[in-house]
Structure 1
Amino acid sequence: MPGLIPEDFIDNLRDQIEIVSFIKGFVPLKKQGQNYVGLCPFHTEKTPSFVVSPHKQIFHCFGCGKGGNVYIFVMEQLGLSFPEAVAYLAKTCGLEVPSSNLTPQQRKQRELREKLVGINELAAKFFQQQLWQKKAKGVQDYLKKRGLKKSVCQDFLLGYAPDDWGELTNYLLSKKIAPQDLISLGLAVRNPQGHLYDRFRNRLIFPIGDAGGRIIGFGGRALDDSLPKYFNSPETPLFNKGEQLYGLHQARGFLRNKNQVILTEGYLDVITAHQYGFSQVVGILGTALTEKQARLLMRYTYNFIFCFDADSAGSQATLRGLDIVQQLGVKAAVIIMPQGLDPDDFLRKEGQTKFNQLIEQALPAFEYRLLKLTEKYKQDTLENKIQIMQALIPVLLKIKSPIEREGYLRLLAERFSFSEKAIYAEIKKYQQGLFQKDEEAAEEKREISGKEKAQWGLLRLVLNKPELLNEVEKFGGAELFFKPLYKEIYKLNYLLRQAGHNIKVEDLITHLKNKAAQELVAEIMLSDEPLQNEQKFLKDCLLTLKIELVNQKIQEKQSLMVGYEKQGEVTKSLELMAVIQKMIKERQKMVSTLAKGGNILEE
């Protein structure tokens, strides 16, 4: 049972939703043969590679690899967890997600999270009410001075923590909230004498929501000389600042429409940007973008624009962020802010049109790195030029587009008065240390290409024709699959069918917990690659994988035999030698059989 929701409810809910009709609400689809195709909502493409099967009730993109059933689509499209996706789909069908069939521990975990979210939402409402009272006129004046409209303040649920040591705590205690829960959520702190006091005092409050809009934490800005000027909730059962983004709930619908996210550092940067029409802006909640935050944003777009402060700390945070997104294959650019201005200041001073110009003039990641390196190595010396070049070569090699890479290479040649030939020589020198590893990897790839095809093909056969499972089991079953992902899918499929379940492919996807496994099943099931001779293909797959299995066992026995020889156990060593010779003959026989028929996998 995936998550904490009863399995029969998950299956029945999925069966009530026709996947083509549902996905059409997000993606324009056209009928093509038995399937429907459209432009993938998860990556930018010009030629449709996104396929939806009404027969199998699954989707798969042959461009980016994402695929699965309707639950997976909702999780990817809306950035939801599995339980959240179930709740979302249940709501569209007018159903309530049941909480039966939960173990006591599971029920306790769910109830605790719901309780804590409820407490945070109570606190958020308290802060909001305080903001619009007469005693908060100073805060209201501050917001007006910043040019923030009441409507945008309400959209972001802004609030005010009174200049009092216990007003929030007393309010929540009066609502029968346990003191320990207030401490756990970082709303209250216990002093050495054992008394509770409010963590947030005389601060403008920024409630922090998850992608679904549930309040998971708070940020506070001091309204006097208190330090620090800003601080967030501590890490709690609900909140981890390295995993969340400020304003994501408000922005997520616009990230896909604009196919772009603009990353800023501050709460007010985000709110002001939204007020000026830049609804694709979100804020990091720490000193730099984290990998988890980047992966969360990749559910919506692969185009990141960094818009951090122009000071040294902002530059360092930008470079760290570029390192992360480059490893993830994300396209990145950097807005160069005027010195001394953050996005909030700039928008209020210069307005929407000028900020649009900054976005249009954003430097691609490579050019930003070059700019920062030339600022670091200011003197126009040969040594400094070489330092810059050596720092940029690894970055240059990671650029996937040959045209883009060639363009930057020419840029470097012109900028530093080097010939392109000299730069190529430097690149070659850098690569020399990697050549041996590359050759080994290429050789390994050549060796396993036939096995990969056999593994993929065999899994495709048994998923489409479960009646072949018994024959596969005779050859070794799950042992034949040398990659854990394939083995996991085969085992689950076999176990479910052995248990008497007449499962459909969308059932299998739901039962698989591994996202990569879900996508692999969708890819396999939507493959339209024809099989000219199914029986021969099955035989070749089985023999190829069986030969590999025997090879592995021979190696294991040989290692064991060497151990016996070192220990002086001659009898055991000779016995193993006989077993190995028998296995070698078995392997030779299979190789001969495969060769005589002409191996389909090598065609």
Structure 2
Amino acid sequence: GDIFEFVKRIEGVEFYDALKILAEKAGVKLKSYNKSNLKDRTERQKISEVLEQALKFFEYYIHNSKKGTRTKEYLVKRGFSEELIKEWRIGYAPDSFDKLSKFLESRGYNKMIIEKAGLSFLKANQELCDRFRSRIIFPFFGINSELIGFTGRIFEKDDFAKYLNTPSTILYDKSRALFGIDKAKVEIRKKDQCILVEGNVDCILAHSAGTKNVIAVSGTALTDMHLRIIKRYTLNLVFAFDMDSAGAKATERAIDLARSMEFNVSVLDLGKEKDPADVILKQGKDSWIKIVDKAEDIMDFYFRKAFLGKDINNVFDKKKIAEELLPQIKKLNNSIEQAHFIQKLARKLMVREEDLRKEFSKVRVDKVEKKEIIEIKDNLSQKEKIEKKFLKLYLINKIDVKEILYLFSPKYRDILEKIAKGEEIEDKGFLSEMFFGADKEKQLLRENEVTASEEIKNCIKNLKRIFLEEKKRNLSLKIKNEKDPKVIERLMEEYLNLIK
């Protein structure tokens, strides 16, 4: 976060009040911006209202339509009861391009607010198209139980995206949103432990099984902001992810981020099951509770995994074990802890501690960046995903990119410039991947009845938002580190102009 978010959280105030507090401390007099602040708050209220109307719409369809009945039948097979569906306000988005939009417009909400809420997007003919179609809807609530967005799981229809989240809005930011935090926060503090799962279904079924200190990253990403929120309630974090999956390396990076922020990290051994929902559904609630009770410290887990299937009398296996564990020991912040695990490893490998220390001194590990977003299932940043999508769309529908090149990272800026000038691209493999991706994008555009031009505009809009966020972060850091009141005033005015 930044200095403004810090003050907002500590003082429990809105942005402008946080700005006034900081200004007073710096001895800076601010001009009045009450009108723009009022407008911003009114927009938040309207978006909050339209989200609530949308949720009632989704709830109506799950309880009062044939497709909704089939949706409930599917959920029952996945371990849900009627009471659970109502408690978590699960809904269904009908397979229609404009049913929700027309409903909301009939309730007096204008197209701009519906789009800003992330519920629909404008087509070329300026008509709204529903974002969520033929999907099971899981509502997302903030810490204070305010509705902020939705996750939609595709149902009885093929779609490129199995799960679809609300895009970034004035209320929903996936780098901060934690599914179930509104219901779990009290229990997390009470038990002084938070269990982190990947999906909404995992979270809901874990609560129904009696473990109410569970929250989910909702299959997207774990960030330092997520961890800062969790840190308000506990320093004991339990990961309930599939540790042997293809995404295990990304999961390890998420664990490293938590450890670097001084969490006490443990993991759950889910056995042959891939997620908590499968454990509860196939083995029962009691089995899940036993697994939770046997949460394993992360270093103990790494040791067990490293020695699994190895022969400590075999010199090559000894070497493999050391190569796997020494980097994990190096990541520990405390030298006493490092010494403890080096001694433990030396004993278990039956080698001299001084020899192991020589190897330990050669180990280099990458420093975890606190500001980095760690993707659980995908190593690409949000910005790079948008850049890749834009490039594929650009190959379908070329536009003049001169005025927007500043939005791109150097890699994509260089590629776009070369394509625009008709110059040769050195990375043929990457270019081939982009052309192949462009064909897939064409198919998606046809299926969703959206033009390449519309999607390009959407990409540019998101890239501008990211560029603005980066600029705001840089300014807030400058404000935090600046001592001169006059410079602080100028920087604050500059920051305020960015958010107007």
TM-score of the superposed pair, with normalisation by structure 1: 0.53
CA-CA distance at 1:369 after TM superposition: 3.3
Partner of 1:159: 91
Partner of 1:191: 123
2:39 counterpart SS class? helix
Task: Report the residue type matching 2:212 in the other structure.
Answer: S
- Relative distance call for 1:340 and 1:395 in structure 2 (3 A) is closer
CA-CA distance at 1:138 after TM superposition: 0.9
Work out the CA distance in 2 between the residues paired with 1:296 and 1:378.
43
Partner of 2:400: none
1:124 counterpart SS class? helix
Match of 1:82 among 13, 22, 41: 13
Given the alignment of the two structures, is residue 256 of structure 1 paired with residue 189 of structure 2, yes or no?
yes
Partner of 1:150: 82
Match of 1:108 among 39, 45, 57: 39
Work out the CA distance in 2 between the residues paired with 1:363 and 1:180.
49
2:75 counterpart SS class? helix
Match of 1:169 among 101, 120, 125: 101
Task: Report the residue type matching 1:104 in the other structure.
Answer: K
- Relative distance call for 1:311 and 1:186 in structure 2 (3 A) is farther
Contact 1:75 1:81 in 2 (8 A): yes
Contact 1:393 1:427 in 2 (8 A): yes
CA-CA distance at 1:314 after TM superposition: 4.4
For residues 530-541 of structure 1, the aligned pairs below 5 Å read none
Work out the CA distance in 2 between the residues paired with 1:231 and 1:119.
19
Deviations 1:496-530 (A, max 9, x none): xxxxxxxxxxxxxxxxxxxxxxxxxxxxxxxxxxx
Contact 2:118 2:131 in 1 (8 A): yes
Partner of 2:439: none
Work out the CA distance in 1 between the residues paired with 2:146 and 2:249.
32
Task: Report the residue type matching 1:117 in the other structure.
Answer: S
Work out the CA distance in 2 between the residues paired with 1:3 and 1:317.
30
- Relative distance call for 1:204 and 1:407 in structure 2 (3 A) is same
- Which structure would you say has the larger Rg? 1
Work out the CA distance in 1 between the residues paired with 2:325 and 2:232.
29
Structure number with greater CO (CA < 8 Å, separation at least 6) is 2
1:332 counterpart SS class? strand
Partner of 1:266: 199
Given the alignment of the two structures, is residue 221 of structure 1 paired with residue 182 of structure 2, yes or no?
no
CA-CA distance at 1:297 after TM superposition: 0.5
Work out the CA distance in 1 between the residues paired with 2:40 and 2:203.
33
Task: Report the residue type matching 1:367 in the other structure.
Answer: D
CA-CA distance at 1:487 after TM superposition: 9.2
- Relative distance call for 1:380 and 1:174 in structure 2 (3 A) is farther
Deviations 1:268-288 (A, max 9, x none): 000001111111110003444
Partner of 1:420: 353
CA-CA distance at 1:152 after TM superposition: 2.5
Deviations 1:531-566 (A, max 9, x none): xxxxxxxxxxxxxxxxxxxxxxxxxxxxxxxxxxxx
Work out the CA distance in 2 between the residues paired with 1:163 and 1:248.
30
- Relative distance call for 1:402 and 1:349 in structure 2 (3 A) is same
- Relative distance call for 1:105 and 1:395 in structure 2 (3 A) is same
Work out the CA distance in 1 between the residues paired with 2:481 and 2:122.
52
For residues 6-85 of structure 1, the aligned pairs below 5 Å read 75=9, 81-83=12-14
Partner of 2:50: 119
Deviations 1:303-359 (A, max 9, x none): 000001244234234202111011101100111212343101111222232212212
For residues 179-578 of structure 1, the aligned pairs below 5 Å read 179-227=111-159, 228-371=161-304, 382=315, 385-386=318-319, 388-390=321-323, 392-399=325-332, 404-428=337-361
CA-CA distance at 1:167 after TM superposition: 1.6
- Relative distance call for 1:204 and 1:485 in structure 2 (3 A) is closer
Task: Report the residue type matching 1:271 in the other structure.
Answer: I
Q: Which runs of 5+ in 1 are unaligned?
A: 5-70, 87-100, 435-483, 493-603
Work out the CA distance in 2 between the residues paired with 1:110 and 1:129.
29
Deviations 1:471-502 (A, max 9, x none): xxxxxxxxxxxxx98996x989xxxxxxxxxx
Partner of 2:399: none
CA-CA distance at 1:260 after TM superposition: 0.6
1:82 counterpart SS class? coil
Q: Which runs of 5+ in 2 are unaligned?
A: 18-31, 368-478, 487-500
Q: Which moved more, 1:309-318 or 1:237-246?
A: 309-318
CA-CA distance at 1:238 after TM superposition: 2.0
CA-CA distance at 1:301 after TM superposition: 0.6
Work out the CA distance in 2 between the residues paired with 1:405 and 1:123.
53
- Relative distance call for 1:288 and 1:415 in structure 2 (3 A) is farther
CA-based RMSD of the aligned residues comes to 3.7
- Relative distance call for 1:348 and 1:194 in structure 2 (3 A) is same
Work out the CA distance in 2 between the residues paired with 1:112 and 1:422.
64
Contact 1:307 1:343 in 2 (8 A): yes
CA-CA distance at 1:211 after TM superposition: 0.8
Task: Report the residue type matching 2:78 in the other structure.
Answer: R
Task: Report the residue type matching 2:183 in the other structure.
Answer: Q
Work out the CA distance in 2 between the residues paired with 1:315 and 1:266.
16
- Relative distance call for 1:212 and 1:380 in structure 2 (3 A) is farther
State percent identity of aligned pairs.
29
Structure 1 stretches of 4+ moved >6 Å: 375-381, 484-488
2:246 counterpart SS class? helix
Work out the CA distance in 2 between the residues paired with 1:242 and 1:410.
39
Task: Report the residue type matching 2:322 in the other structure.
Answer: M
- Relative distance call for 1:339 and 1:287 in structure 2 (3 A) is farther
Deviations 1:395-415 (A, max 9, x none): 324546677545432332244
Work out the CA distance in 2 between the residues paired with 1:429 and 1:197.
57
Task: Report the residue type matching 1:297 in the other structure.
Answer: I
Task: Report the residue type matching 1:182 in the other structure.
Answer: I
Q: Which moved more, 1:259-268 or 1:392-401?
A: 392-401
CA-CA distance at 1:376 after TM superposition: 11
1:312 counterpart SS class? coil
Q: How many residues align?
A: 359
Work out the CA distance in 2 between the residues paired with 1:248 and 1:118.
21
- Relative distance call for 1:137 and 1:287 in structure 2 (3 A) is closer
1:231 counterpart SS class? strand
Work out the CA distance in 2 between the residues paired with 1:241 and 1:233.
9
TM-score of the superposed pair, with normalisation by structure 2: 0.63
Partner of 1:129: 60
2:148 counterpart SS class? strand
